[in-house]
Amino acid sequence: MKIYFSLFLLPLLILACTTSPTGRNQLLLMGNRQMSDMGDQSFEQMQKEVPISRNSKDNRYVRCITDRLLSAIGENPRSWKVRIFQDKSLNAFALPGKNIGVHTGMLNFAQSQHQLAAVIGHEIGHVLANHGNERVSQALVTQLGLQATEVALGSERSEKNNLILAGLGLGAQFGVLLPFSRKHESEADLLGLEYMSKAGFNPRGAVELWQNMASNSKGSPPEILSTHPANSTRIRNLSRHLSKYTPIYQATPNKPQCLR
């Protein structure tokens, strides 16, 4: 039954192929409405579990940067929900459904409006590039492949069969899912660089942010075992594209003045 289901799904996999904003091939199995509902539910749940900052000065600062980024790429800022969460971790995120969260730890770590714009632009890039949909779709396909393998191996689960399945699970983890996530991070870095430059934020702020991250990092896992590129990789990739986006930043009139 599972094999038949997999064969039935094959045409859907072909039809679900699309391209990201940078032209990379993607597989999107989930509908936009489904993803938005999932994102909204997760965002609502987080607001119940993590205290939200009511600091008006900080909220104006984050909203100023976010609105400028969104307006520069043709998005309606009022359709996006933005919250500051009281959490000391160096983190920010964006979820389908147009939800953006910034942790106070990241807010305090970013040393300028340009650095925080790099963070928020990166997170907006994840949403607009459908990275959440892509990850869910990849997980579904991986799970179907493992189920089909179980059927092919038969109902007798020998020790050898268990080792094969364990090996496939490890292969799926390190050969597909984690490198794929690093690809998302690199793509979101470049999208964020584009967005911030169009909005009038200095793209060099993205490089400075990750240089500060590198100085602050201790005991980070090797890149091959991480869902994120190494700090040195990000700095190198971002620096390589500064010559493309700096003129866009310089040509942007009425530079933002988001002050904290």
109 and 118 Cβ atoms separated by less than 8 Å: no
What pLDDT does 172 receive? 55
193 and 245 Cβ atoms separated by less than 8 Å: yes
What pLDDT does 158 receive? 55
Q: Residue 192 contacts by C-beta under 8 Å, 6 or more apart in sequence?
A: 118, 119, 120, 121, 122, 123, 124, 125, 206
Residue 219: which pLDDT band, with cuts at 50, 70 and 90?
Answer: low
The tokens describing 173, both together, are: 């983890």
Hunting for tokens 């609502």 — which residue is that?
Answer: 44
pLDDT for 5 beyond 50: no
Lowest mean pLDDT, pick from 38-47, 129-138, 233-242: 129-138
pLDDT for 11 beyond 70: no
Residue 30: which pLDDT band, with cuts at 50, 70 and 90?
Answer: confident
CA–CA separation, 126 and 137 (whole Å): 15
Q: Which of 123, 134, 187, 194 is catalytic?
A: 123
Can 75 be counted among the known catalytic residues?
no
260 and 58 Cβ atoms separated by less than 8 Å: yes
Nearest to 122 by CA among 68, 209, 189: 189
Helix or strand or coil: residue 172?
A: helix
Mean predicted confidence (pLDDT) in 117-135 = 94
What pLDDT does 8 receive? 45
Nearest to 2 by CA among 145, 169, 171, 166: 145
Lowest mean pLDDT, pick from 37-41, 63-67, 148-152, 226-230: 148-152
Residue 224: which pLDDT band, with cuts at 50, 70 and 90?
Answer: low
For residues 105 and 160, the model is more confident at 105
* pLDDT tens digits, one per residue of 130-188: 988 888 888 777 776 656 555 555 555 555 555 544 554 555 555 555 566 888 999 99
Mean predicted confidence (pLDDT) in 29-35 = 87
Lowest mean pLDDT, pick from 22-31, 44-53, 171-180: 171-180
DSSP string, 222-258: PGGGSSS--HHHHHHHHHHTHHHHHHHHHH-SS----
Mean predicted confidence (pLDDT) in 220-244 = 83
CA–CA separation, 119 and 82 (whole Å): 14
CA angle 195, 30, 43 (to 5 degrees): 60
